[in-house]
């Protein structure tokens, strides 16, 4: 009997291997007894092989439910966090916007105050300048780059002589305007108080006054100064004298132009110990001649068509074409020409142009 059982078990194991992985199977069993007699009709029975739990329908369904639920919960939590972050961000944006608006209002108010101060400074600077009709047959073209200007002009009549100066200070705007005040006051001091009448001597003394005004403690070099052209017309002797610091003078007679060159060093902008001596030149004049003086802002203006500077060559051609017009028309032509030339481009520097006609004897 023990051998028969052994035989049965052996057959059962073979049957399990053959039918493994199925849910419900049928098996036929034959066996022999101890005497080796086998049954002729196999015994039939059924059995079920259960799958592992992770392959069962209920586990798969639960797993799918958990995954879907977890995904939904993650999305909901993420949306909730995003909404919170959005609210926080919106609050921060509102705060920053309010700060920017407040700062903008403060800056705008400060700009209004500064602009108002500069506008008032412009009134003071304009009041400082002499009247444009101080001398007959004389025009003044004054075009500051900013509200106030680093260019200025100066006119004075001591009875025997008429003085005209065109000055271009370092910088423009407010810094240039401060320099123009120093230059204007120094000119008045040199000519009216000291009584100097020769242009060369006036510029020499003016240089000393400017250096003295700008001198700082423990500094030996002056970094600010001015370019200038100065003429003195002697009404009795009918002579014209000229001295210049970089700024030359043009004379136009019957359509022909002559240039009288200035010295190639400025007023100021040097070491305190530097010695300068400006040359005093006598200009040959005749009644009807036009004398022109200008800062470099006119010739240095860039043009919108080719992006190049106007240059002194074009200035000379223009003066030769307008010299015989009435002085007011000359001023208008000069203004129209430079405005047309620059177009929409920014004005690069202050512009100062003065023309005066030599009177009859």
Domain of 311, CATH number, reads 3.60.40.10
Residues 237 and 146 in one domain: yes
**96: in domain:** no
Give the single-character DSSP code of 172: -
Residues 156 and 250 in one domain: yes
pLDDT of residue 273: 62
Say which residues have a Cβ less than 8 Å from residue 356's Cβ, sequence separation at least 6.
135, 137, 138, 139, 164, 290, 291, 327
**224: in domain:** yes
Residues 156 and 261 in one domain: yes
pLDDT of residue 292: 98
The per-residue pLDDT of the chain, averaged, comes to 87
| Owning domain of residue 25 | 2-50
pTM for this model (two decimals): 0.73
Contact between 136 and 335 under an 8 Å Cβ cutoff? The reply is no
Residues 135 and 30 in one domain: no
**152: in domain:** yes
**107: in domain:** no
**C-alpha triplet 189, 190, 196: angle, nearest 5°:** 140
pLDDT of residue 35: 80
Contact between 151 and 180 under an 8 Å Cβ cutoff? The reply is yes
Q: How far apart are the first and last CA of the chain?
A: 164
Residues 45 and 177 in one domain: no
pLDDT less than 50: residues of the chain: 1-22
Distance between CA atoms of 149 and 145, rounded to whole angstroms?
Answer: 7
Residues 239 and 140 in one domain: yes
**110: in domain:** no
**225: in domain:** yes
**121: in domain:** no
Tokens of 98: 């309010």
Residues 36 and 170 in one domain: no
Count: domains in the chain: 2
Contact between 200 and 243 under an 8 Å Cβ cutoff? The reply is yes
pLDDT of residue 332: 97
Residues 140 and 27 in one domain: no
Tokens of 152: 């200025």
pLDDT of residue 115: 86
């Amino acid at each position: 009997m023990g051998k028969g059982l052994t035989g049965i078990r052996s057959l059962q194991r073979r049957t399990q291997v053959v039918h493994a992985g199925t849910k419900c199977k049928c098996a036929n069993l034959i066996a022999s007894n101890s005497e080796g007699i086998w049954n002729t009709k196999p015994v039939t029975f059924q059995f079920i092989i259960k799958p592992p739990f992770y392959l069962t329908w209920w586990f798969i369904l639960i797993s799918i439910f958990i995954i879907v639920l977890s995904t939904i919960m993650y999305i909901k939590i993420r949306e909730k966090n995003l909404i919170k972050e959005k609210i926080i961000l919106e609050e921060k944006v509102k705060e920053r916007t309010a700060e920017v608006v407040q700062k903008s209002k403060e800056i705008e108010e400060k700009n209004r105050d500064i602009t108002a101060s500069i506008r008032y400074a412009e009134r003071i600077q304009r009041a400082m300048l002499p009247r444009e009709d101080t001398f007959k047959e004389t025009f003044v073209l004054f075009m500051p780059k900013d509200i106030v200007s680093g260019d200025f002009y100066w006119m004075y009549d001591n009875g025997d002589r008429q003085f005209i100066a065109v000055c271009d200070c370092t910088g423009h705007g407010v810094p240039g305007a401060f320099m123009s005040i120093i230059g204007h006051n120094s000119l008045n001091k040199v000519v009216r108080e000291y009584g100097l009448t020769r242009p060369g001597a006036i510029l020499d003394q003016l240089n000393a006054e400017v250096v003295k005004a700008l001198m700082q403690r423990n500094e030996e070099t002056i970094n600010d100064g001015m370019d200038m052209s100065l003429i003195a017309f002697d009404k009795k002797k009918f002579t014209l004298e000229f001295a210049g610091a970089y700024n030359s003078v043009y004379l136009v007679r019957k359509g022909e132009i002559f240039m009288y060159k200035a010295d190639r060093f400025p007023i100021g902008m040097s070491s305190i110990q530097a010695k300068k001596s400006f040359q005093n030149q006598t200009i040959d004049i005749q009644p009807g001649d036009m004398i022109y003086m200008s800062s470099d802002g006119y010739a240095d203006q860039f043009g919108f068509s080719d992006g190049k500077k106007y240059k002194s060559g074009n200035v000379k051609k223009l003066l030769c074409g307008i010299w015989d017009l009435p002085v007011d028309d000359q001023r208008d032509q000069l203004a129209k020409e430079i405005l047309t030339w620059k177009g929409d481009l920014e004005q690069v520097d202050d512009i100062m142009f003065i023309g005066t006609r030599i009177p009859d004897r």
